Amino acid sequence: MAQTMDVSNLVDYVEQNKQDIIHASVLGAQTLTYPIDIITGVKYQEQFNFMAITAPFQSGATCAFNSSGTTTFTKTVLTVLDVKVQQDYCPKQLEAKYTQKFLRPGAHQEELPLAQFITDYVNQLIAAQMEQAIWQGDTTNPGMNNLKHFDGLIKKIDAASPVYATATAAISKANVLGVIEEMYTLIPAQILNKELVLIVGKSTFQKINLALAALNYFHVPVSVGMNQWEMTYPYFNLKVVAVDGLSNITGTAGAYKDRMVLTYWDNLAFVTDLQNDSETVELWYSSDDRVIKTSYEWKSGTAIKFGSEIVTYKNS
C-alpha cells in the first residue's frame, strides 16, 4: 500500500495557535517593529488626553503673590475600524491536478491541504498590506481596496499642522541632501534632545546613500545597513530609516511620493484592540457548501500625538 502524507493535525495546529497567527499578521508590519507607540484595547473609540503647561518667570523682588502661566488640557479621539480577510477553499478543485497528492484518501475532505503553508503565506501578505495601510491609508479613497479601511499616518500628519520643508517637483540624488538639511534646521527646539529619526521610502533611501557616496565622505562613519535599511546621517547624528510603507506609493501619488517624516518614534501611534475576543483566526469546514473557510479579523487605526513636533516633506 502506497504511503500517504497525514495532514490530519494541520487544522488543529492552526486553531490552537490562532492568537499567534493574528499577531504575526497585524503586528508583523515593518513600521511596527520600531518603537512606535502601540495602543491596545481600543474597541472603537477612546479619548487621548494631552496637557500643556506654561510657567513664565516674573520678578521676585516683591512679597506679592502673582499667579501666571496656564495649564491647557486638550484631547483627541483614537478610532479603530474593523478589517478582515476571508477566504474559502474547495478541495475538490485539487483532485484533477498534481495537487491531489496533498489530499487525504476518500471523497470527503474536511481539512485544508497545506494549511500551515497557506496561513503562513496569508500572514505575510497581510503584514505587507498593513505596512502600506499604516502609512497610506485613507478612508476617503475607496478606489484603493487595501488602503481604504482606516486612515494612515500620512493623512493624520497632514491634518495635524506639521512643519513642512520646501517642496520640489521630485526628490533626486542632486537635491535630496539639501532637503534633509532644511528639514534638520526646521526641527522644533523642544524636541532636539529627543532621539529623532528620519523615516523615508526605500527609493529615497537609495538616493540619500548615492548622494553621500558622491561627496566622497568616506572618512565619515555613516553606519549604513542596507539589509536593515538604516543609516546614521553624517554630522547630524540623525538616524535614517527606510520603511516599505513609504515605498511603492499607491495612494494619492502626488501627495505621498518621496515622502519624508522627521520626528521621534513615540510621537506616532498604532491603535488596535488585538487582545480581545474580536481578534481571531478561524479555520473550519463548512458542511452546507462543502468548502473550508478561513477568517482573519482585527481592528486598526493610527494617531499622531503632536503634529507641531513633526517635520515633513512631500513633492510639489
Structure confidence by residue, pLDDT tens digits, 205-262 = 999 988 988 887 665 555 655 567 898 888 788 999 999 999 876 555 445 678 999 9
The answer to whether position 284 is within a domain reads yes
- For the record, the C-alpha cell of 176 comes out as 535630496
Contacts of 267 (CB under 8 A, 6+ apart): 37, 304, 305, 306, 309, 310
Is 5 domain-assigned? Answer: no
Total domain count for the chain?
Answer: 1
Instruction: Report if residue 61 sits inside a domain.
Output: no
Res 21 pLDDT > 70: no
User: In terms of residue numbers, what domain contains 249?
Assistant: 10-54+67-313
Give the predicted TM-score (pTM) of the model: 0.76
**Mean pLDDT for the stretch of residues 34-60:** 76
Burial class (CB in 10 A: 0-12, 13-18, 19+), 203: middle
Query: Has residue 295 been placed in a domain?
Result: yes
pLDDT of residue 165: 94
Radius of gyration, CA atoms only, the chain = 25
Q: CB burial class (10 A; 0-12, 13-18, 19+) of residue 268?
A: buried
Position 141 in a domain: yes
Domain membership flag for residue 4: no
In a domain, 72, yes or no: yes
The secondary structure element, H or E, covering residue 294 is: strand 291-304
Strand, helix or coil at 87? strand
- Identify whether 226 is part of a domain: yes
pLDDT > 90 in the chain, percent: 24
Cα–Cα distance for residue pair 92/26, rounded to 1 Å = 31
Residue 236's CATH number: 3.90.1690
Whole-angstrom distance, CA of residue 172 vs CA of residue 104: 56
Q: Provide CB contacts within 8 A for 136, sequence distance 6+.
A: 144, 147, 152, 154, 245, 249, 250, 251, 256
273 pLDDT band (50/70/90 cuts)? Answer: confident
